[in-house]
Structure 1
Amino acid sequence: MNTSERLGYGKEEKLLIVNADDLGLAKAANDGVFDLLEEGAVSSATIMMNCPWSAEAAERIASMPDVDIGVHWTLTSEWPHYRWGPLVRNRASATLTGKDGWFPQTPEETERRADPEEVRGELIAQTEAALAAGIALTHADNHMGSLYGIVSGKDLLHVAYDVCAKYGLPFRLPRKLIPVGGRQIPPEVQERAKRRAREAEDRGIVLPDYITGPEYRLLPGESYDDVKAEGIGLLRALLPGVTEWISHPARVTDELRSFHLHPEKRGMEIRFWRDPDVQSVLREEQIRMIGWKELKQLQDSLRI
């Protein structure tokens, strides 16, 4: 049974959650994400409670009580001149930071150094910070995939599952991996992913069936038409079930350009979801947009 059936939809229905990552990252990210949320062009967003603009994002969320907002668990800080670190600031976060006090720039370093119990404390702190800001969380996901063991195979998903179970949050992990952009998935990675998905569901954590989305970087020579063509191809390739599309929209401003290596790509993601041709494809393919709240309600029902 796929997740769409568990939600009460038909087995062959194509359900799409479009999540805007990185709320709170910067003013440009907040404005871009809220533009699309207010227009109904995306389904949900996730907030980085460690970042400077999270307080402004939380204030704006308060004026949109029906919006689906999750916590974007953050253990990395990728930009050389725009950094952030843990909310837990004591010896209980020693393995989460470098000598400069900031999170590492790559998931690989997090995988290599992070103590699972320190990760647990930080994920709880970020979740509690969101709740204290008045955000009714609908789900959780992870910045840069630092919990998934993508680089080294050493994942921290058991910690994520503990925190998801504690707070009743569905989680960004596909029940089935599908190749995107012609990339092949090694058999051992497929098997590990299936095992981790089963472990989550055994804990009562609800997952989407699939995850998709464009490359977050602007490739050399890539134009909006290229991005649009890739995105439409991904939409037409959606399989029956619940798919989460990972998006990174932001307004392209001087602020964003001051630290981001690929600011134009974030602007293209706003343009994509506003594009009439994209909306036409959603209708043609009979793709129904839903939010994470439906998965949260399902998970809550499993706890009764």
Structure 2
Amino acid sequence: MNLKNLFLSISFHLFIFCQIGFGQTYAEKLGYPKGAKVLIIHVDDTGMSYEANEGTIMSMDHGAANSCSIMMPCSWVPDYFKYLEENPETDAGVHLTLTSEWKGYRWGPVAGHMTPSLKDEQGYLWPSVKDVVTHGNPEELYIEIKAQLEKFRSMGFEPTHLDSHMGTLFANEAFLQKYIQLGIENRIPVMFPAGHATLIQQETEYSDQQMQALRKMGEEIWKSGLPVLDDLHTSSYSWKISPEIEGDDDKIRAYKTAKFKETVKALKPGVTQIIVHSTNSTPHFEKITPSASLRKGDMLAMMDPEFIDFLEKEGIIMTTWRELRERRLQLELK
């Protein structure tokens, strides 16, 4: 078969595949009703700062968020683990961190001297995903993410899941394989969208062939006994706060709440994770990052009674990584 005919054949089969659909969602496989919209609202960057810890706690204890993940190389990790000691059922995972992206506040690898390819000239983690891809050795990367998992466990808890700060572990196939390997070896769910993946495909602009490869990896994760997401929403960090509403919490909350409601309305059936960066921002936190207002906006939206009521009226089924893991385990035991 020549290349032209091969391309036509692939295009035809992709067309047929899209017309037929993806069959059962992962939510259905996990025992949720057919057509159900199942949701995790996940707070990233816990442990990065005191303000991030406060934002996480307020968004989960008094708001719609129901899961989080912790940046183990960061300075405020012990503070959040004090909270976990009093609230051990909290859905908390490891936010596997391979970048140190802020200029005035930085952190190094947990594994230290064992991972020289992951460090810049000052000994901190590289400031960008591109730098990690350029310099990072996959074997050293595995040493580092395993060290972050073990540090979490050394604090007296088992994480409910693993995910990737700034998506670095999704930046190339070698990194992705190490991420999946860590989850499978330790029987810990990994954040991985491999069902219909409608939102994540829109955000990443992955080709159909790339999405097919993603779904194949998802099938392998599922076969290993771990749950898989149908979809993932990561773009809330791009919802910048305009100068017109900067400093006005009521307007910021209304803006962010409207954006999250719009996102939820667009959900397709299946289990989806929406990522937020809830932070109780202060002038001190503004010294760390220019994203303080949008992060505070996430926290305010999560705590907005209007948004909480909206989720109920839309018939959204809220879940956690802990529940997904338990449901997947029960299927293995049958």
Taking structure 2 as the reference length, the TM-score comes to 0.84
Kindly indicate whether residue 184 of structure 2 is the aligned counterpart of residue 165 of structure 1.
yes
User: How many pairs align?
Assistant: 300
- CA distance in 1 between counterparts of 2:185 and 2:217 reads 18
The 3-state SS of whatever aligns with 1:138 is coil
Q: What whole-Å deviation, never above 9, does each CA across 1:209-255 have from its counterpart, x for those lacking one?
A: 11114431453627524433221110111111111111100001122
Q: What whole-Å deviation, never above 9, does each CA across 1:80-139 have from its counterpart, x for those lacking one?
A: 11111111112x201111111111111111122211111111111111111110122111
- CA distance in 2 between counterparts of 1:299 and 1:179 reads 24
TM-aligned CA distance change 1:186 to 1:247, over 3 Å: same
- In the TM superposition, residue 303 of structure 1 has moved relative to its aligned partner by 6.0
Kindly indicate whether residue 133 of structure 2 is the aligned counterpart of residue 93 of structure 1.
no
1:178 aligns with: 198
Q: What whole-Å deviation, never above 9, does each CA across 1:149-191 have from its counterpart, x for those lacking one?
A: 2xxx445111111110122111111013224696544334323
Kindly indicate whether residue 230 of structure 2 is the aligned counterpart of residue 209 of structure 1.
yes
8 Å Cα contact 2:225/2:329 also seen in 1:
no
1:277 aligns with: 306
Moved more, 160-169 or 178-187: 178-187
Unpaired runs of at least 5, structure 2: 1-23, 246-251
8 Å Cα contact 1:168/1:299 also seen in 2:
no
> Identity percentage over the alignment?
28
- CA distance in 2 between counterparts of 1:199 and 1:106 reads 29
The 3-state SS of whatever aligns with 1:215 is helix
Taking structure 1 as the reference length, the TM-score comes to 0.92
- In the TM superposition, residue 301 of structure 1 has moved relative to its aligned partner by 4.1
- CA distance in 2 between counterparts of 1:189 and 1:227 reads 31
2:132 aligns with: 110
2:221 aligns with: 200
- CA distance in 2 between counterparts of 1:297 and 1:83 reads 36
1:14 aligns with: 37
Kindly indicate whether residue 143 of structure 2 is the aligned counterpart of residue 124 of structure 1.
no
TM-aligned CA distance change 1:247 to 1:10, over 3 Å: same
Name the structure where helix makes up a greater proportion of residues.
2
Misfit runs of 4+, over 3 Å: 179-185, 298-304
- CA distance in 2 between counterparts of 1:42 and 1:69 reads 12
- CA distance in 2 between counterparts of 1:205 and 1:48 reads 22
The 3-state SS of whatever aligns with 1:172 is coil
- CA distance in 2 between counterparts of 1:220 and 1:162 reads 38
- What letter corresponds to residue 100 of structure 1 in structure 2? Q
TM-aligned CA distance change 1:116 to 1:181, over 3 Å: closer
- CA distance in 1 between counterparts of 2:34 and 2:128 reads 39
The 3-state SS of whatever aligns with 1:146 is helix
8 Å Cα contact 2:30/2:328 also seen in 1:
no
TM-aligned CA distance change 1:6 to 1:181, over 3 Å: closer
- What letter corresponds to residue 27 of structure 1 in structure 2? Y
1:286 aligns with: 315
- In the TM superposition, residue 208 of structure 1 has moved relative to its aligned partner by 1.2
Kindly indicate whether residue 328 of structure 2 is the aligned counterpart of residue 296 of structure 1.
no
CA RMSD of aligned residues (A): 2.0
- CA distance in 2 between counterparts of 1:145 and 1:261 reads 20
- CA distance in 2 between counterparts of 1:20 and 1:170 reads 17
- What letter corresponds to residue 80 of structure 1 in structure 2? K
- CA distance in 1 between counterparts of 2:94 and 2:267 reads 25
- CA distance in 1 between counterparts of 2:194 and 2:173 reads 19
1:261 aligns with: 290
The 3-state SS of whatever aligns with 2:51 is helix
- What letter corresponds to residue 218 of structure 2 in structure 1? A
8 Å Cα contact 2:302/2:308 also seen in 1:
yes
TM-aligned CA distance change 1:148 to 1:213, over 3 Å: closer
8 Å Cα contact 2:199/2:232 also seen in 1:
no
Mark the structure with the bigger radius of gyration: 2
- CA distance in 2 between counterparts of 1:181 and 1:277 reads 29
2:21 aligns with: none
